[in-house]
Structure 1
Amino acid sequence: MKDIFDKTVTEEVCKRIDLLTATSDRKWGEMTVDQMLAHCNVAYESVYDNKHPKPKGIKKWMLKTLVKNFVVNEKPYKKNGRTAPEFLVVNERDFEIEKERLHAYINKTQELGGAYFDNKESHSFGKLTKKEWSNMFYKHLNHHLNQFGV
């Protein structure tokens, strides 16, 4: 799995995002391209913006014990997988705004680097290694960029 903290990888991902247009068609799934960008931004909002409530109780336990490994391992996501309710984007979004936000989040993550994230508490999964953070970020972005053929 590519290391999202590597500047070359970040630049590659951003170039792929730049290949998208407001009318890009998906190869699978239901989201439009603007919704997909907003959906990808949710992962970063959870890290940087404190916009989403942290899971508690049984939900937190389920995420840490049943979902975490699936999200942070190196195995790519399957097409048409289920999306967590917090990540659902059903309304129309401004393509350019969501694209700019995603670029900013990706670049901020790369600039902070793996050392910043190593052993950092995640929103849903407890403390993660820098490799787990990288896998989670890159795998999700790669999945959705592939969804739109870039």
Structure 2
Amino acid sequence: MKNLFEAETVDEVKERMARLRPDSAHQWGKMNAAQAMEHCARGMELALGDRRPPRLLIGRILGPMIKRKAFADGEPMRRNSPTVPGLAVSDDRELGKEQARLCGLIDRFAAAGPKGCTSHPHSFFGRLTPDEWSAWMYKHLDHHLRQFGV
């Protein structure tokens, strides 16, 4: 499974991000490209431990069962998947600024490696290993890049 501890995967994600334009049309969802980049940056902050939302009751109940399917190799995130509270973005954003912010967080995550991952549980899935965080962050980025056809 691709993950953000692999330099070639980081390069792939950044190259795809660079193809986004302010007027890139979304194929699903409500966010525009700039909002999606800020949303992804907030997701990276989860993996880095900068954001620490509480566990959701529904995640405590269903998280372990859904985690097996969500983390399956080769299975992309489904369209219109629910988001962690606090990660949705609805205000106006500047694409270039959001891309730069996200690139910086990706670089920080990749450079820190497994020791840089949070030990705080994911609000839905619960405890994740560094390898699971790295793979999930790739899947999340891939999901939103596919949302805009890149």
TM range (shorter): 0.7 to 0.9
Structure 1 segment 1-150 matched on structure 2, within 5 A: 1-48=1-48, 50-51=50-51, 53-55=53-55, 58=57, 61-62=60-61, 64-65=63-64, 68-69=67-68, 71-74=70-73, 75-117=75-117, 120-124=119-123, 125-150=125-150
Distance in structure 1 (CA, Å) of the matches to 2:70 and 2:41: 16
Corresponding residue SS for 1:89:
coil
Q: Which piece of structure 1 moves more, 59-68 or 86-95?
A: 59-68
Distance in structure 2 (CA, Å) of the matches to 1:27 and 1:71: 21
Distance in structure 2 (CA, Å) of the matches to 1:5 and 1:107: 10
Are the counterparts in 2 of residues 16 and 145 from structure 1 also a CA contact under 8 Å? yes
Q: Give the deviation of 1:93 after TM superposition.
A: 1.4
Corresponding residue SS for 1:28:
coil
Q: Give the deviation of 1:54 after TM superposition.
A: 2.8
Give the counterpart letter for 2:16 in structure 1. R
Q: Aligned-residue CA RMSD in angstroms?
A: 2.5
Give the TM-score taking structure 1 as reference length.
0.81
Give the counterpart letter for 2:78 in structure 1. K
Give the counterpart letter for 1:92 in structure 2. D
Closer, same or farther: CA 51–81 of 1 in aligned 2, 3 Å: closer
Give the counterpart letter for 1:10 in structure 2. V
How many residues align? The count is 148
1:100-148 residue CA offsets vs partner (Å, 9 max, x unmatched): 110001111111113543x833342443223211221000000110111
Identity, % of aligned positions: 33
Q: Which piece of structure 1 moves more, 78-87 or 23-32?
A: 78-87
Give the counterpart letter for 2:107 in structure 1. N
Q: Which runs of 5+ in 1 are unaligned?
A: none
Are the counterparts in 2 of residues 73 and 132 from structure 1 also a CA contact under 8 Å? no
Distance in structure 1 (CA, Å) of the matches to 2:53 and 2:111: 26
Give the number of the structure whose residues are more often helix, by fraction: 1
